[in-house]
Amino acid sequence: YIHHFLPARLIMLIINPPLAIYKHLAALSFMLAGVFADLLVVRLCLTSAYVFLIANCLLGSPLWPHIYRKGHLTVDMLIWGFICFYVHMASVVRLLLDEEHVTLTGHEEALWRMFYRVGGLSRKLFKHHIAEHMKVVKYEKGQVIPVEEFFHISYEGTVEIKIHDENTGKLIQTAIDGSGCMFDFKKLGLMQTLTSPMSKHKLVVSAKSDCTFFEFSNKDIRDIANAKVTKSVWQTVFIGTLARIAVQRLGEEHMDPKRSDPSHLDPLFMPLSATETPDPLLAGSGAALERPLAHIAYCMRRFFTPPWPFGKHLIGIRHNMLQAPVPTEGATDTIERGIDGKDHEGQSLLSSSDGNGSSKYKSIV
């Protein structure tokens, strides 16, 4: 009488045999992609996962324990496998190319050493964000430096800086400075309070000896100094400039006499010592591709982030897209400025609509 207690239609559960080893290796690769926070390691894990899935399709999607099933081909998954492999492998190649050593000219090398020392800027970022907009210019003794059109960082030689009141033209101070000074730093757009007395100063700079400068157009320097990846470095340089000005205000007896020596070179421009050389295993060192496997292994150890409760997640790992608004020269109030650049990722965007109903973007700066 047992059949009286059974349902009219039995539902049978069939447990399928395990899949082939390729599917298990692909699943392992997908899992590993979720426990590392380094983008290169994540992309490598995803690439390896699709390599195993492609192999599984080409070998007929066998079942355990077989490694090959003759006469079978999963075409749809093979197509998706190749597409996904291409997407992730292309990213791996681009990330590895980012680690190539960047060759700089002698003057570019000197300026990069300054930015590296004060803010850890990599050669790649320096070349892309700074060196491409820079010119090396020379002025003879007695020439006036065009500070109204260009921003300058002094490399060699000494200059005389006369500070005038912008409204009255009255001479406020005369100073002698040398290698490492920059003018006019107001062009950087890093002053939070544009009503500061310094914002009302006008500079007249002349060469007291033959000089070499790193020159940027005033149009470019504001964007360069406020770019997301370089702003913190420029802020450190800016603070150093303010420190130099503070020493000048204390009087000649407090100044380093070397700064008025035309042959003196600022230590920030000098070659790196052995202790200052970037660790070749670090991303951005320019030497990671000399030992690629060691570099990848280092990144795996450093950025291993297992899920809760086995590990602690990195806080704010995606918060690097925020960027402070760029102060606009000559204005103390917040204004709107149209954006026509290609990369809006690091800018504060507000949607707006023009008369035709199309969408535009503006940035609160």
The string of pLDDT tens digits covering residues 261-284 is 788 888 899 999 999 999 999 999
Could you give the CA distance from residue 164 to residue 195 in angstroms, rounded to a whole number? 16
Q: Are residues 38 and 156 in the same domain?
A: no
Q: Provide the domain limits for residue 33.
A: 21-99
The answer to whether residue 120 is domain-embedded is yes
Between CA 315 and CA 307 the distance in angstroms is 13
Cis peptide before 38 (omega within 30 of 0): no
Task: Name 227's Cβ contacts closer than 8 Å, sequence gap at least 6.
Answer: 129, 346
Residue 354 confidence (pLDDT)? 45
Query: Is residue 362 scored above 50 in pLDDT?
Result: no
How far apart are the C-alpha atoms of 278 and 272, rounded to whole Å? 9
**How many structural domains are present in the chain?**
2
| Same-domain status, 219 and 84 | no
Q: What are phi and psi of 236, to 5 degrees?
A: -65, -45
Please identify which residue in the block is written with the tokens 């020392």: 117
User: Are 140 and 256 in the same domain?
Assistant: yes
Can you tell me which residue has the tokens 């109204």? 148
* Enclosing H/E stretch for 219: helix 218-225
Please check whether residues 152 and 171 belong to one and the same domain.
yes
| Residues 158 and 247 occupy one common structural domain | yes
Q: How far apart are CA 219 and CA 151, in angstroms?
A: 9
Q: Which residue has the higher pLDDT, 303 or 225?
A: 303
* Placement of tokens 């030689």 in the chain: 157
pLDDT at position 356 over 80: no
Q: What is the pLDDT of residue 47?
A: 97
Burial of 201 (0-12, 13-18, 19+ CB in 10 A): middle
The residues pairing with 139 across neighbouring beta strands, listed in sequence order, are: 211
> Could you tell me if residue 358 is inside a domain?
no
- Which one of 247, 269, 291 terminates a domain? 269
Q: Do 89 and 116 fall into the same domain?
A: no
The string of DSSP codes covering 303-327 is: TB-PPTTTS-PPTTTTGGG--PPPP
- Cα gap 127→98, rounded to integer Å: 12
pLDDT of residue 39: 94
Describe the crossing of helices 21-33 and 39-58 by its angle, rounded to 10 degrees: 160
Return the biggest CA–CA distance within the chain.
Answer: 116
Assess whether 125 and 255 both reside in one domain.
Answer: yes
User: What pLDDT shows up at residue 253?
Assistant: 56
Is the pLDDT assigned to residue 4 strictly greater than 60? no
Whether residue 123 lies inside any domain: the answer is: yes
**Is it the case that residue 62 has pLDDT exceeding 90?**
no
Q: Look at residues 269, 286, 304 and tell me which one is the last residue of a structural domain.
A: 269
- Is 286 a member of any domain? no
User: Are 72 and 147 members of one domain?
Assistant: no
Same domain, yes or no: 91 and 126: no
Other Cβ atoms closer than 10 A to 67: 13
Where among 252, 269, 286 does a domain terminate?
269
pLDDT digits (tens, 9 = 90+) for 211-227: 999 999 888 888 888 78
| Cα–Cα distance, 55 to 49 (Å, whole number) | 10
pLDDT in tens, 138-171: 999 999 999 888 999 999 999 998 888 877 878 8
- Asked if residue 345 is part of any domain, the answer here is no
pLDDT of the residue at 310: 86
CATH number at residue 230: 2.60.120.10
Three-state SS string over 86-105 comes to HHHHHHHHHHHHCCCCCCCC
200 and 149 co-located in one domain:
yes
262 and 233, same structural domain? yes
Same domain, 158 and 90: no
